Amino acid sequence: MGDTLSAAVSIGFHGLAFAMVLYLISVGLSVTMGLMGFVNLAHGVFAMVGAYVLTSLMSRFGVPFLPALLAAAVAVAAASLPIERLLYRRLYGGDELDQVLLTMGLVFMSVAGATYFWGPLQQPLQPPAWLSGAIDVGFRTFPAYRSFLILCGAALVTVLWLGIERTRFGARVRASVDNLRMAQSVGIDTSRLFMTTFALGSGLAGLGGGLGADLLAINPSYALQNLAYFLIVVAVGGLGSIRGPFVAALLLGIADSGFKYLLPEFGAFFIYALTMAILLWRPRGLFGRA
């Protein structure tokens, strides 16, 4: 009995950590796809760049962990602005296939670019001393870094949700997702809004990629390897939804760590079968609008 409970706790713990990373990375994608109707297969690139910036700031320039994390998010958000203005904006409301071609092209360029700047090998993340080791909470211990990851994720999610629900900016975003034309006709500058939300989503992805560097290994083909995960979170959660992807990420994270623990041989099958079943039951995702 004690063993079962302990297994359940560790599945829940690791699942939660993974879910936080998945959510931080995917929420921006959900908004891009829901708000701008843009199939952005290159979203993982932002997460990858965030992770690379974090590790190189720490290992090459000796920047402490937290400032480096912040810098990674800001750098990715800033870098995403010209990409949105110069490339993505041309294709809003355009043909999906052109969007697929453009974003796959960016993914290919990112693979080569990452190899050029950081080499083909996997980049390790060295957590700072205060986050290595374990935290003892009395009845058992938890790895410190993952605990930090969960807390940090939970804090960001709270801020994000409050921002969307309580601020004027959040109201604009919600209005535009609900009805783009109506939002434009009441005077919301949707072009600017797209740009800001895109940068915000990319920055969050960069942050998520950096935080989750020990869960999703950083290497040049990161964006391609993890694309299916991000798309599953968005499709299961529901396009344009802020909360949906969180539930989807929780489901995916916990199911993933559970199946890997209980049935390591066939874990992936169950994840995919679960995804299929949910999408058959609700084609627009758990929180998608009909």
Partner 1 sequence: MTPSRAVDAFVRRHRYRLLEALPWLAAVASYFVFPDYLALGAQILATTIFALSADLVLGYAGIVTLGHAAFFGIGAYTAGILAAHGWGEPISGLFAGATAAALLGFLSGLVVLRATGLALLMQTLVVATMVAEAANKASFITGGDDGLQGMEVWPIFDLFRFDLFGHTSYVYCLTMLFLCWLAARRIVHSTFGRSLTGIRENVRRMHAIGAPVARRRLVIYTISAALAGVSGALIAQTTQFVSLSFLSLERSGTVLIMLIIGGVGRLYGAFIGVPLYMVAQNRFSEIDPVYWYFWLGLLMVLVVVFARGGVLGLFDRFRQ
CB of 172 to partner 1, least distance (A): 24
- Of 36 and 69, which CB lies nearer to partner 1 in the complex structure? 36
> Are the beta carbons of 72 and 206 closer than 8 angstroms?
yes
| Residue recorded with tokens 């700072």 | 128
Eight-state DSSP code of residue 130:
G
CB of 275 to partner 1, least distance (A): 5
Give me the phi and psi of 140, to 5 degrees please: -165, 175
CB of 245 to partner 1, least distance (A): 13
- Of 108 and 130, which CB lies nearer to partner 1 in the complex structure? 108
Give the integer Cα–Cα distance in Å for 55 and 199.
Answer: 21
DSSP-assigned states of every residue in 220-287: TTHHHHTHHHHHHHHHHH-TT-SSHHHHHHHHHHHHHHHHHHH-TTTHHHHHHHHHHHHHHH-TT-TT
> Are the beta carbons of 19 and 157 closer than 8 angstroms?
no
- Of 88 and 148, which CB lies nearer to partner 1 in the complex structure? 88
Give me the phi and psi of 218, to 5 degrees please: -90, 115
- Of 153 and 237, which CB lies nearer to partner 1 in the complex structure? 237
> Hey, how many other C-beta atoms are within 10 angstroms of the C-beta on 132?
11
- Of 58 and 114, which CB lies nearer to partner 1 in the complex structure? 114
Query: Which residues here bind partner 1, judged by CB under 8 A?
Result: 33, 39, 41, 87, 90-91, 94-98, 100-102, 104-113, 115-116, 224, 227-228, 231-232, 234-235, 239, 265-266, 268-269, 272-273, 275-276, 279-280, 283-285
Give the integer Cα–Cα distance in Å for 33 and 27.
Answer: 10
- Of 156 and 236, which CB lies nearer to partner 1 in the complex structure? 236
CB of 104 to partner 1, least distance (A): 6
CB of 112 to partner 1, least distance (A): 3
Burial of 282 per CB tally in 10 Å (0-12, 13-18, 19+): middle
- Of 101 and 171, which CB lies nearer to partner 1 in the complex structure? 101
| Residue recorded with tokens 């290497």 | 219
CB of 229 to partner 1, least distance (A): 11
Q: How many CA atoms lie within 13 A of 194 on its CB side?
A: 23
- Of 202 and 275, which CB lies nearer to partner 1 in the complex structure? 275
Give me the phi and psi of 231, to 5 degrees please: -65, -40
CB of 143 to partner 1, least distance (A): 28
What would the two tokens of residue 118 be? 């950081």
CB of 217 to partner 1, least distance (A): 17
